[in-house]
Amino acid sequence: MLDNLEGTRQDTEQVALGPVSKVTCGSGVLKLKHRFSELEGSSKQSGKRGMSEEHFRQLMDHTRARSRRFLLEVDLMLNGSSTSDATYYAQIGVGHPVQFLNAIVDTGSDILWFKCKLCQGCSSKKNVIVCSSIIMQGPITLYDPELSITASPATCSDPLCSEGGSCRGNNNSCAYDISYEDTSSSTGIYFRDVVHLGHKASLNTTMFLGCATSISGLWPVDGIMGFGRSKVSVPNQLAAQAGSYNIFYHCLSGEKEGGGILVLGKNDEFPEMVYTPMLANDIVYNVKLVSLSVNSKALPIEASEFEYNATVGNGGTIIDSGTSSATFPSKALALFVKAVSKFTTAIPTAPLESSGSPCFISISDRNSVEVDFPNVTLKFDGGATMELTAHNYLEAVVSRKLSESTHFQGVRLVCISWSVGNSTILGDAILKDKVVVYDMEKSRIGWVKQDLSHGSDRFTPVGSKYKIGIDNVLSYITIQMLRDHVSTADSDIPGYSWYVLYALVF
C-alpha cells in the first residue's frame, strides 16, 4: 500500500538516539524543520549578520499570538489552537486504499481531524498559511470516508466519544464542534479508520478521527493532528492501542539552524536528564517555575507570578515548542531586562520601533554574544534547573537605521526576544539545543543539553555513543511543510516550497 515510499526509507540517513536497550514497535523519530528558518530575512538565510528587523517582528508576533491562544484556553477551556500559528505539518495515510493528507502537528490541540468530502464548502476553501500580512495559498486534499473500506462512523457508545465529542440527532453518531482563538471553527462527525504509519500493511492503527462537515476561517493544511493531553490525542491513542510507552520528546536547533527531531514511544533514560513534575491539566503541558536568576542571582519575583490563576487570566508556566520564543508576566520581564542591562558589557540602545523589544549594541567582531551577556537559570519544582545562555534570549537583528549610519559601522544590534504575556510560555528559543521529554507515564517533563548546531541530524545525549541504524526501521511517516509554489490571490510569491521531512518509526 505504501510501497512507493520504500526507496525514500532506504536512503534516509542514520539517526543517533542515545542509550537504548530496546525500541518498541510504534515508537518513532521525526526530522523537523523550523517554519520560519527558510524565509527571506531569517537568521539561517542571513548568516552571521543576524535576521532582518521584519523577520524579528514576525517571530515576536508569532509568540504573542500563541500567548493569546493559551489565554483563551484559560478563560474558555477550549481544546483548540489558533490556526494561523501552525508550525509543523505531517503527511499521513488514512484508510484503505490509502489517502494521503497533510495535518498540523500541535501540542496545543487534542483532536485528529481532517477536512472531509462531506463538508459543505470545504472544497472551495484553499489551504492557507498566514505569514505576517501575506496569505499564501496551496493545494487542498479532502478525506473521503466513502472511499475507504476500513472507515466506519463512530457511535455514541464509542469509549472516546465522551472524551472529545457528543451525541447528535437521532442517528447515534458522535459529533464534535471546536472554536478557535481567531474565530475559526470546525464542526463534524467522528469516524474510526486505519491510520497508516509504515510501508507494511501490518503496521497500521485504527484511530478515532474527525471528519469536518463545516469549517470557517483560514486553515493552513488539510487538518490537525493533536498532540495534547486528552485521551483522544494522537500520542494517547497510539499508546493505548499499541501498548507502547506513553512518551514523546524533541530536540530543536532553533530558527537559525532550522531543524530538529521529534521522537514518540519508549526509550531508556538519558544521562544527566533532570525532571520536574507535570501539573494536572487536560489541555496544555504545565510545570511549576519557582525562580528566574541572572548571573546566578535570583530576581525578586514572587513564585505566584509563574503560577496558574484563572481569575487574572494567568495560565501558569507552559512548555510549548510551537511558540517561537518565550513570554513572561510584565513584572518578571521588566526585572529580567533590568538585570541583563546591569550585567552586560554591551551598550543599551533604543527599543526597535517595529516590536518594542529592548536592544543592545555589541561589538561585531566578537565570536559570540555569550561573551557580552550573562547566563540565566530557571529553577523548577523538585529542584530541576535549566541553564540558558544569551542565545536563548537574544537575537542578532540587522537594523535599517543602524545600517544606514556610518557612525555605527563595525557594531551589531542584539535584541531580547522574550515578550510580555499573561502566562509564562517557554518556547522554541528556550527549548532549543536540549532533549525535552514529555513523560505521561510518570507525569513529568525532563530535559538535558544536546547540541544540534551546524545542521547536524545526530540526536545523542551528551556523553552517549549509542545509535540506532537504518536497519531497525520498520515504518515511517512523511512530514511536509508548505514553503514554495504557493501564491496570494493577487500575485505569486517566489521562494516558498514544500519541506519534506521523514519520520522513522521504530
Q: What is the pTM of this model?
A: 0.69
Residues 275 and 248 in one domain: no
Please write the tens of the pLDDT for every residue from 414-424.
888 888 888 89
Q: Is residue 123 assigned to a domain? A: yes
Q: What is the largest CA-CA distance in the chain?
A: 76
The grid coordinates of residue 16 equal 543517533
Specify the CATH number for the domain of residue 193: 2.40.70.10
What domain range includes position 131?
74-252
Residues 6+ apart with CB under 8 A from 376: 292, 293, 294, 336, 387, 388, 389, 392, 393
Residues 362 and 400 in one domain: yes
Residues 106 and 211 in one domain: yes
Active site residue 106: yes
Please write the tens of the pLDDT for every residue from 135-187.
445 567 899 999 999 999 999 999 999 888 888 766 789 999 887 655 678 89
Q: Is residue 121 assigned to a domain? A: yes
Residues 247 and 358 in one domain: no
Catalytic residue among 182, 320, 372, 428: 320
H or E element that contains 332: helix 330-343
Catalytic residue among 106, 182, 222, 372: 106
Residues 307 and 372 in one domain: yes
Residues 6+ apart with CB under 8 A from 470: 9, 10, 12, 13, 14, 504
Mean pLDDT of the chain, nearest integer: 68
Residue 405: Cβ within 10 Å count: 11
Q: Is residue 379 assigned to a domain? A: yes
Confidence of residue 356 (pLDDT cuts 50, 70, 90): low
Residues 313 and 419 in one domain: yes
Residues 91 and 237 in one domain: yes
Residues 237 and 299 in one domain: no
Q: Is residue 145 assigned to a domain? A: yes
Residues 319 and 248 in one domain: no
What's the rounded mean pLDDT across residues 13-24?
A: 29
Residues 236 and 328 in one domain: no
Q: Is residue 37 assigned to a domain? A: no
Q: Is residue 177 assigned to a domain? A: yes
pLDDT at 499: 25
How many independent structural domains does the chain possess? 2
Q: Is residue 239 assigned to a domain? A: yes
What's the rounded mean pLDDT across residues 4-17?
A: 30
Residues 342 and 233 in one domain: no
Answer whether 499's CB lies under 8 Å from 481's CB: yes
Residues 298 and 189 in one domain: no
Grid look-up 490537525 returns 224
Last residue of a domain, one of 408, 424, 453: 453
Q: Is residue 318 assigned to a domain? A: yes
